[in-house]
Amino acid sequence: MSSKTTYIGAVEIGTSKITVLVGEHNGRELAIIGRGECSSRGMIKGTVVDYKAASDSTHSALEQAERDAGERIDLVFLAQTGGHLEGFYNEAAVNVKASDNMIEPGDVRTVCDLAKAKELPTGRMVVHHIRRPFRVDGQLIPGSPENITGQRLDVGYWTVHGQEQRLADNLHVIRGFNLEVRELVLASLASGHMVTSAEERQHGVLAIDIGAGTTDFVLYRDGAPHTTGVVPVGGTHFTNDLSIGLRLTDGKAEKLKLRFGRANVTTKDKTHKVWLDGNFAIGDRQFPQQAIEQITSARAWELLEVVKKKLGSAFSPETCASGVVLTGGTAKLAGIADAAAKVFGVPAHLGEAPTWVSENLRDPGYHTALGLLYYGVSAQSEKALPSRRGSSFLTGMKRLFTHA
């Protein structure tokens, strides 16, 4: 990246709210200088269902962030989530070309290209190629394998792909504000990058971001993302369950969830009731607390079980020594860490932003946007491996004019 100051907007378009953070990046340091928030409309489970409403609310958040920052955003890193996102693993191996068996950049490039070259079904597009560590003659190499001697070079990629129209809709919402989306980052990678430390990622950790409409998760092993996934279930389902179970409006159910919802049942007394508002106003009602806890805990356990099932054999308590880290707005549900610990059989805790993050951005609702900024910047400046697509001078010039 150049030394010129760039104003980056990290945009998370969630089901319940849209968060925008403005980062000032001078090529070396990143400072957060603005914030914008807006209730989300026209979005369900990470999918645009009403373009106008989604655009208006997103642009409102962008304008608010620009006003707060006092600067115009130059480009956007956009968080991507949604049930349409899927992932698969593909690996490839090549015989080392050089006669002295020393691995050259060409070998690395070839094996990477091969591992990424899996044809996708029509209408699907790659969102992320997440590389797992290289192996030389079966031995794991954490860094670059260049100049290491061996006969066979292996690498695997976890490829995340999504539906083209859904991805395009998200991009066009941002482009409708005349801004270019420079990076599309999985919401799970963004939030996971923020709430886990490098050490945890090295030992193995599962980060689960429970939002309003979706739950994104990423499993780290050997310091790198191993498996990602999206479950189209989130906090709104908890609210919906309460609404149906207790015959309430969504607003009241949401209120009950926030005040009395738990991920595990702690109330033993079935007759113990709680007031909806507690202000003795006309219309205020009482509800059995155990019932509330039973409804929310059932949904929470089910959600965590689904995540575990989706992870399949990739997850095992032995390979996830650092346990489970929970984040996202719904992670504020009481007892959810205990529930996660029981479901996964490993320690679990609520994710916290690093200590250098200011107090007003430490809420779990900002973890994704924060992670977007840092993950996006590092992804741009530290490309793990040079690719054929972006390395040529001609491509660089083309980009220069495209982005001008």
Partner 1 sequence: MRLPSDRETVNQETVNVPAARNWRDISQPVKARAMSRGGKWRRVLQGARGVMLVAVVGGLLWGAWKVSLSLRKTAPQIPTIAKTVPMKAPELRTTRDGVLDAAWLARTLELPPRVSLLELDLERLRARVLADDQVLTASLTRVFPDRLIVQVTERTPVARVRVGLEGQARDLLVARDGVLFAGSGFDPAMIETLPWLAGLTLAPEGAGFRPVPRMNEVARLLTDAQLAAEHLYRSWQNVSLARLDSDNEIEITTRDHTTIVFGAKNAFFVQLANLDYIMERRLKLPGTRARIDLSLGREVPVMIEPLAAVATEAKPELAKGAMVPFFTAFPDSSLSSKREL
Closest listed residue to residue 213, CA positions, set 293, 309, 330, 324: 330
- Residue 8 and residue 11: Cα distance in Å, rounded? 9
**The amino acid at 55:** S
Both tokens of 157, joined, read 């990629």
* Residue carrying the six token digits 């899996």: 118
The answer to whether 325 touches 206, Cβ cutoff 8 Å, is: yes
Which one, 174 or 326, has the nearer CB to partner 1?
174
Interface with partner 1 includes 93 (CB under 8 A)?
Answer: yes
Stretch of residues binding partner 1 (CB under 8 A), selected from 42-50, 122-130, 253-261, 331-339: 122-130
Interface with partner 1 includes 56 (CB under 8 A)?
Answer: yes
Interface with partner 1 includes 59 (CB under 8 A)?
Answer: yes
Rounded to a whole number of angstroms, the minimum distance from the CB of residue 95 to partner 1 is 6
Interface with partner 1 includes 100 (CB under 8 A)?
Answer: no
Going from the C-alpha of 295 to that of each of 154, 240, 254, 348, the distances in angstroms are 47, 10, 13, 22
Q: Which listed residue (33, 102, 125, 258) binds partner 1 by CB under 8 A? A: 125
Residues 6+ apart with CB under 8 A from 17: 37, 38, 39, 40, 212, 365
Which one, 20 or 295, has the nearer CB to partner 1?
20
Burial 24-53 (b: 16+ CB within 10 A, else e): bbeeeebebebbbbbebbbbbbbbbeeeee
Rounded to a whole number of angstroms, the minimum distance from the CB of residue 392 to partner 1 is 13
Rounded to a whole number of angstroms, the minimum distance from the CB of residue 170 to partner 1 is 9
Which one, 116 or 259, has the nearer CB to partner 1?
116
Residues 6+ apart with CB under 8 A from 28: 3
Q: How many residues bind partner 1 (CB under 8 A)?
A: 46
- Residue 85 and residue 311: Cα distance in Å, rounded? 14
Rounded to a whole number of angstroms, the minimum distance from the CB of residue 12 to partner 1 is 17
Which one, 178 or 249, has the nearer CB to partner 1?
178
Question: In the stretch 162-201, what mask flags binding to partner 1 with x, by CB under 8 A?
Answer: x-x--xx--xx--xxxxxxx--x-----------------
3-state DSSP helix/strand/coil % of the chain, to nearest 5 = 40, 30, 30
Interface with partner 1 includes 65 (CB under 8 A)?
Answer: no
Which one, 149 or 266, has the nearer CB to partner 1?
149
Interface with partner 1 includes 4 (CB under 8 A)?
Answer: no
Which one, 33 or 53, has the nearer CB to partner 1?
53
Identify any residues that bridge with 18 across adjacent strands, giving them in sequence order: 13, 38
- Residue 195 and residue 269: Cα distance in Å, rounded? 36
Window 264 to 303, contacts with partner 1 (CB under 8 A): none
Both tokens of 26, joined, read 């001078």
- Residue 276 and residue 266: Cα distance in Å, rounded? 19
Q: Which listed residue (67, 270, 388, 398) binds partner 1 by CB under 8 A? A: 388
Which one, 168 or 397, has the nearer CB to partner 1?
168
Which one, 182 or 349, has the nearer CB to partner 1?
182
Which one, 95 or 144, has the nearer CB to partner 1?
95
Taking the CA atoms of 337, 338, 342 and 346 in sequence, report the sign of the dihedral they define: positive
Which one, 181 or 324, has the nearer CB to partner 1?
181
Give the three-state DSSP class for 378. Answer: helix
Burial of 153: CB neighbours in 10 Å, binned 0-12, 13-18, 19+: buried
Interface with partner 1 includes 118 (CB under 8 A)?
Answer: yes
Interface with partner 1 includes 13 (CB under 8 A)?
Answer: no
Rounded to a whole number of angstroms, the minimum distance from the CB of residue 246 to partner 1 is 39
Rounded to a whole number of angstroms, the minimum distance from the CB of residue 176 to partner 1 is 5
Q: Which listed residue (15, 40, 55, 264) binds partner 1 by CB under 8 A? A: 55
**Interface ranges with partner 1 (CB under 8 A):** 51, 55-56, 59, 62-63, 72, 90-95, 97, 106-107, 110, 113-114, 116-120, 124-127, 152, 159, 162, 164, 167-168, 171-172, 175-181, 184, 388-389
